[in-house]
Amino acid sequence: MRDMRFLICAALVGAFSPLAVSAAPVAPEDLFKLTFLSNASLSPDGAHVLVEASRMNGPKDTYDRTIELVDVGSGRLAHDVTKHKGDGDYAWMPDGRSFVFVRSIPKQKPQLFRYTLAGGTVVQLTHLKDGVSSPVPSHAGDRIALTVTEIDPAADARIDFGKAGFTPSAAQKKSDVHIVNQLFFQTNGAGYTYQAHQHIWTVAADGSRPKQLTSGQYSEGFDAWSPDDRTILFDSLRYESVDNGPSDVYTMPSIGGNFAKVASPLPANNGFFFSNDGRRVFFLSGDVKDAAARPALVSANLDGSERRTVITQNALGWGDTLLADMKEGGGFCGAPLPGRDRALLNLDGPGYANLRTIDLIDGAVADVTPPHGEAWSCTVTRDGTRVAYLYSDFMHPADVYVATLNGGSPRRLTDVNASYLASATLSQPQEFSVKDPSGYTVQAWFMPATGAPGTKHPTLLDIHGGPETQFGDTFFHEFQLYTSLGYNVVFSDPAGSTGHGYPLEEALENNYGEAMFADVQAVMDAAVRRPDVDVTRLGVLGGSYGGYATLWVISHTDRYKVAIAERAVSNLQSENLAADFAGKNGLGGGYYNWGPPWDPASTDYAKFSPLTYVAGVHTPVMILHADEDTRAPIDQTLQEYTSLKILGRTVEYVAVPDENHDLSRTGSPIHRVERLHLILDWLHRYLSV
């Protein structure tokens, strides 16, 4: 579901080479052979790129994460440069000769360290009792901004141990009971978070003179240093809100002192950067009532006066919202270009995300990287002439790339999964499109089966989550797995998807199930006309909103012989009152679109809930849910499962312990692989592959 708030064995240089032909099928266990990259960081002089590499560790059932160093000129890669698994959260010092990073040590709070390229020395810089995260060096390099998260101390246990007649242990003296008095008190994957307060600190470049700049019950997120390092920009919500998403932008002296709000007429404001002269700030600004809305890019004086709109609301899709199983979204990256009224950032397009520049005066947008694939995690050199970023496409997991901002072709620096790709048989998606009943063009892809000989193959329709996300041109291991085992795969961007303009995204808001259903039906109507599709063996599956969509589809048609709904939403009324983002602007706009969830007159919750139509389900369905999922709480699966059992329908409930909503992307290695086998077994049972 949408966030309502807005590694490495070898390195090669040059263009992609053709994939070697191989008979090896893709297997669930191939996840153990893959290297996952994240957080590309280009040194200020453009000579090196830092990147985090992650590989599954089977015996420990965890991930080995290391910092890799790529030489931009030669493409040579130094593996695990800090010689300590788990290091990350890094930033270059301005001279490019060293970088700072965060190291986690068992039974200790994470602290800041510095690695020096000449000699490869590692020095610990901080010893703060609450630990540190997110270091950002100043432009001069004499100070480093940090975030420090303080946790409220546990209350004393509410028990008279004298009367109880025993001497308590130290742990028993403290209560583990949670007393909550606010909304948005928990976060999927992190549990209870209401007692955590993130604040901004600075330390000298050598780690001395730590200074806390913010404090109190509200949290702050560091955005940027001003060009002269005298001011900092940060985000904070300093009031209790019934909406998920509001935030304000503030400035304050970097030595500490009073901070000032950058006034805005809209409630959702997220800081970005200062102008080159430091007199103005640029930030994203929008409302919270429309789940499909995209914020405007605005600039203003430090007090919010002389507000100017650079990019109007709903004109662009900020960041990278492509979904796959190699990571959880690409997020937003970007930076101002020094000495120019331009900024570099990544933006969504139809089925892709690329890097572009924006003219900060007239809003003109120009491509830096081609309009295909998925580009994210971008950083620029000090002079703003070169960018490093991560890039993936349908046939390749992420690698590090560099590009110049004045033209020229991007250059790939790494090829971390080359040996795996040379040994695997992959399917190249074939793009097509259909017109839906409302006249919108729906982008879709067909991945032909590469395994199991025969003219016709069973075909799977996979529906993406969000719904404000999109499928597109990025590597998806799970889809390659299906095609390797003899299934065709169809996927698309129906109503509600990002990247295709505001009207298509907004089309879902007041027609929550039907608009999606009409689009995926039109997509499948086109797909089944292909000669390699066995129309008697169709399956449908999806996760999160895709799980919702799967339940909706099988309650409205018997076209599919098997279904799999993961981390699904079945009852919009309870989802909008129980999810970790539950508030006034919940899933589908919640209160703003459909009225109060508790009001009997608010009938749209039932109208758009798959549970309402559960009696129409005759398709055998597996419902898979992680026990610690708070994005789509477990009751969503239990309500659908219990109803189907009472109705005597064929349904199987798979409960995965110790995992959350992101099982398929970030779950433990064993559970991620086991999940795939469970899905394959269920599909084989009804589609005979």
pLDDT at position 14 is 32
Q: 406 pLDDT band (50/70/90 cuts)?
A: confident
- Token duo for residue 107: 């039974």
pLDDT at position 20 is 36
Task: Give the mean model confidence (pLDDT) for residues 156-185.
Answer: 95
Which residue type occupies 426? L
Q: Write out pLDDT tens, residues 216-242.
A: 999 999 999 999 999 999 999 999 999
Does position 340 have pLDDT exceeding 90, yes or no? no
- Token duo for residue 23: 């008979």
Q: Write out pLDDT tens, residues 265-317.
A: 999 999 999 999 999 999 999 999 998 999 999 999 999 999 999 999 999 99
Task: Give the mean model confidence (pLDDT) for residues 90-99.
Answer: 97
Average per-residue pLDDT in the chain? Answer: 94
Round to whole Å and give the CA distance between 274 and 290.
28
Round to whole Å and give the CA distance between 360 and 345.
12
Round to whole Å and give the CA distance between 147 and 163.
44
- Token duo for residue 29: 């266990």
Cα 510-513-516 angle, rounded to 5 deg:
100
Does position 13 have pLDDT exceeding 70, yes or no? no
Contact between residue 449 and residue 479 where contact means Cβ atoms under 8 Å apart: no
Beta-sheet strands, E only, within 520-679: 533-543, 562-566, 621-626, 651-656
Which residue type occupies 601? A
pLDDT at position 445 is 98
Q: Write out pLDDT tens, residues 178-196.
A: 999 999 999 999 999 999 9
Does position 575 have pLDDT exceeding 90, yes or no? yes
H or E element, residue 65:
strand 62-71
pLDDT at position 23 is 53
Does position 17 have pLDDT exceeding 80, yes or no? no
Round to whole Å and give the CA distance between 380 and 182.
40
Non-local CB neighbours of 11 within 8 Å, separated by 6+ positions: 70, 75, 76, 77, 413, 414, 415, 416
Round to whole Å and give the CA distance between 608 and 573.
10
Q: 619 pLDDT band (50/70/90 cuts)?
A: very high
pLDDT at position 560 is 98
pLDDT at position 415 is 97
Round to whole Å and give the CA distance between 403 and 382.
14
Task: Give the mean model confidence (pLDDT) for residues 114-125.
Answer: 97
Which of 281-295, 330-344, 528-542 is predicted least confidently?
330-344
- Identify the CA nearest to 132 among candidates 144, 118, 116: 144
Round to whole Å and give the CA distance between 404 and 92.
20
pLDDT at position 607 is 97
Contact between residue 450 and residue 426 where contact means Cβ atoms under 8 Å apart: yes
361 C-beta neighbours (distance < 10 Å), count: 11
Task: Give the mean model confidence (pLDDT) for residues 400-411.
Answer: 92
Which of the pair, 671 or 291, is modelled with greater confidence?
671
Q: Write out pLDDT tens, residues 469-497.
A: 999 999 999 999 999 999 999 999 999 99
Place of tokens 């539950």: 582
Query: Strands 457-463 and 488-492, how do they pair?
Result: parallel
Non-local CB neighbours of 642 within 8 Å, separated by 6+ positions: none
Round to whole Å and give the CA distance between 446 and 431.
6
Measured between its terminal Cα atoms, the distance across the chain in Å is 31
Per-residue DSSP letter, 322? B
Non-local CB neighbours of 124 within 8 Å, separated by 6+ positions: 103, 111, 112, 113, 207
- Identify the CA nearest to 232 among candidates 143, 318, 151: 143
* DSSP states along 84-104: -TT-EEEEE-TTSSEEEEEE-
Strand partners, 111: 103
Does position 2 have pLDDT exceeding 90, yes or no? no
Round to whole Å and give the CA distance between 451 and 680.
14
- Token duo for residue 165: 């007649």
Does position 137 have pLDDT exceeding 50, yes or no? yes
Non-local CB neighbours of 362 within 8 Å, separated by 6+ positions: none
Using alpha carbons, list the distances in angstroms from residue 164 to 120, 171, 426: 58, 16, 66
Task: Give the mean model confidence (pLDDT) for residues 544-573.
Answer: 98
* DSSP states along 255-314: T----EE---SSSEEEEEEE-TTSSEEEEEEE-SS-TT--PEEEEEETTS-S-EEEE-TT
Round to whole Å and give the CA distance between 478 and 425.
13
Strand partners, 280: 301
Which of 26-35, 148-157, 336-345, 457-466 is predicted least confidently?
336-345
Round to whole Å and give the CA distance between 491 and 617.
22
pLDDT at position 18 is 36
pLDDT at position 24 is 84
Residue range 427-571+609-687, CATH number: 3.40.50.1820
pLDDT at position 12 is 27
Strand partners, 622: 564, 652
